[in-house]
């Protein structure tokens, strides 16, 4: 009978820890909008070297920096076209790289 309370406490602690790990993993998963935005970013920037993804907001808004205006315009046009052909995301925000 003495071993039973320890077993119960260990079981409760193990279950609590496992539950916390599962919840923690779910917290760090991207939203469906972020997944879509990341896929579009990869498609629209393939082969471009003067644009850099800064972040993707929870609502799917892409924020990036650029060096060349031409590449910025190409990325923005590609992202706009993807939104017309599929699910719509907020407009991307582009910022010039400082010092360039």
Please say whether the beta carbons of 33 and 59 come within 8 A: yes
- Residues 30-39 have pLDDT tens digits of 999 999 999 9
Helix (H) / strand (E) element for 39: namely helix 32-45
Please say whether the beta carbons of 41 and 62 come within 8 A: yes
- Residues 4-35 have pLDDT tens digits of 566 677 777 777 776 665 555 556 789 999 99
Nearest of 86, 84, 66, 88 to residue 75 by alpha carbon: 66
Query: How many CA atoms, within 13 angstroms, populate the side-chain half-sphere of residue 26?
Result: 6
The radius of gyration of the chain from alpha carbons, rounded to an integer in Å, stands at: 22
pTM for the model stands at 0.71
């Amino acid at each position: 009978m003495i071993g039973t309370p320890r077993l119960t406490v260990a079981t409760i602690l193990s279950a609590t820890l496992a539950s916390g790990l599962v919840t923690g993993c779910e917290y760090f998963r991207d939203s469906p909008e972020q997944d879509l935005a990341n896929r579009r970013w990869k498609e629209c920037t393939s082969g471009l070297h003067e644009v850099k993804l800064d972040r993707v907001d929870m609502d799917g808004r892409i924020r990036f920096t650029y060096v060349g205006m031409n590449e910025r315009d190409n990325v923005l046009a590609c992202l706009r076209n993807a939104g017309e052909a599929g699910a719509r995301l907020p407009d991307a925000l582009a910022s010039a790289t400082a010092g360039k």
